[in-house]
């Protein structure tokens, strides 16, 4: 590993000041599970590495008037331990549980997972399925965008020069919305996803599907919403055939590739199966919730 300057930011304001000073030659370090691997083989190391792990204002999980805000430097292990996440966003905890081993989850952060912007990320699909927003800060101040707009391409995000991801917000209207996360890898633990799927919807009074969301990972250049599959399900009774049809629609809509890990056809089959499973689990949770509310 080649030498570089190192600085630890106590908060996001310090981090932004350091970014402004170093410009494009700076890199941000959260958990380090991706960056440290890069630095070991980088032919041109950054001039400055800014450590965010001590930035207190990036480490909170809070219930606000807007929803649940998760700081960008919150680790996956902290998500798993959070009573707020377990109560209101259990599918987010399920996605964090699938990340690496316990040692990785203790270091890796949700914000780092999103900023890395690899198509196979585990954190992205479930947050897309819950209409999450992200708050960014930079030289021009703060701005908030939909998470779907944050992903531009493999390892490319909407972060501009000198900008920092501050938090991820799941809107209040979606707290407790029935959701599910599914992942398939080549082994049980510490597996990179061949396909991952997240889904959410509510049941209307007539039993029809309301506000369906289906998000896919590892099957396109970025994590994606399967909008056509959502449209095929919206307003319909959630019969077994309707859920299977949505799974088939998601498989058609996706853009998987063939590589050394799996073929395009195999990935499409996985998308159809995992989407159906996720939707079935959402249906079961929505039905149980309706029964509880009716008591």
CA atoms 25, 26, 32, 36: torsion sign:
positive
How many Cα atoms are found within 13 Å in the side-chain-facing hemisphere of 134?
24
Residue 235 falls in which region: left (phi positive, over 0), alpha (psi -120 to 50) or beta = left
CATH class of the region 179-289: alpha beta
Look at residue 293 in the predicted model and tell me its pLDDT: 64
Structural contact between residues 159 and 26, judged by C-beta atoms closer than 8 angstroms: no
Look at residue 190 in the predicted model and tell me its pLDDT: 65
Q: What is the 3-state secondary structure (H, E, C) of 223-238?
A: CEECHHHHHHHCCCEC
Residue found under tokens 């099957």: 219
Topology of the domain comprising 5-51: 3.30.43
Q: How far apart are CA 201 and CA 177, in angstroms?
A: 7
> Residue 37, Cβ neighbours under 10 Å: how many?
10
- Fold match between domain 58-174 and domain 179-289: no
Report which of 150, 152, 83, 80 is spatially closest to residue 111, judged by C-alpha positions. 150
Contacts of 77 (CB under 8 A, 6+ apart): 96, 102, 105, 106
Look at residue 51 in the predicted model and tell me its pLDDT: 94
Look at residue 113 in the predicted model and tell me its pLDDT: 93
Map out the domains of the chain as residue ranges. Answer: 5-51, 58-174, 179-289
Look at residue 88 in the predicted model and tell me its pLDDT: 98
Ranges of residues in the chain with a pLDDT under 70 are 1, 187-190, 291-295
Look at residue 295 in the predicted model and tell me its pLDDT: 45
> Residue 207, Cβ neighbours under 10 Å: how many?
14
**Any bridge partners for residue 237, and if so which?**
208
Q: Which CATH number fits domain 58-174: 1.10.460.10, 3.30.465.10, 3.40.50.300, 3.40.50.280?
A: 3.30.465.10
């Amino acid at each position: 590993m080649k030498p570089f300057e190192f600085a630890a930011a106590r908060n996001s304001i310090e981090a932004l000041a350091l970014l402004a000073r170093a410009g494009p030659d700076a890199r941000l370090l959260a958990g380090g599970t991706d960056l440290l691997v890069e630095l070991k083989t980088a032919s041109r190391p950054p001039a400055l590495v800014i450590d965010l792990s001590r930035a207190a204002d990036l480490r909170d999980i809070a219930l606000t008037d807007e929803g649940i805000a998760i700081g960008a430097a919150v680790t996956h292990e902290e998500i798993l331990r959070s009573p707020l996440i377990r109560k209101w966003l259990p599918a987010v905890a399920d996605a964090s549980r699938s990340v690496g081993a316990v040692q990785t989850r203790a270091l890796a952060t949700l914000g780092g997972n999103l900023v890395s912007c690899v198509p196979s990320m585990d954190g992205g699909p479930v947050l897309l399925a819950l209409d999450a927003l992200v708050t960014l800060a930079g030289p021009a101040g703060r701005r908030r965008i939909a998470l779907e707009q944050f992903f531009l391409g493999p390892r490319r995000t909407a972060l501009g020069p000198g900008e920092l991801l501050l938090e991820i917000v799941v809107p209040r209207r979606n707290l407790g919305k029935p959701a599910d996360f599914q992942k398939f890898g080549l082994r049980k633990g510490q597996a990179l996803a061949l396909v991952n799927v997240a889904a959410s919807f509510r049941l209307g009074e007539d039993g029809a599907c309301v506000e369906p969301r289906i998000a896919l990972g590892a099957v396109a250049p970025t994590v994606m919403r399967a909008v056509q599959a959502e449209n095929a399900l919206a307003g319909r009774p959630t019969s077994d055939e309707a859920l299977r049809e949505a799974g088939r629609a998601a498989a058609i809509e996706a853009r998987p590739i063939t590589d050394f890990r799996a073929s395009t056809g195999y990935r499409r089959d996985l998308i159809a199966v995992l989407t159906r499973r996720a939707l079935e689990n959402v249906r079961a949770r929505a039905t149980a919730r309706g029964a509880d509310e009716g008591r």
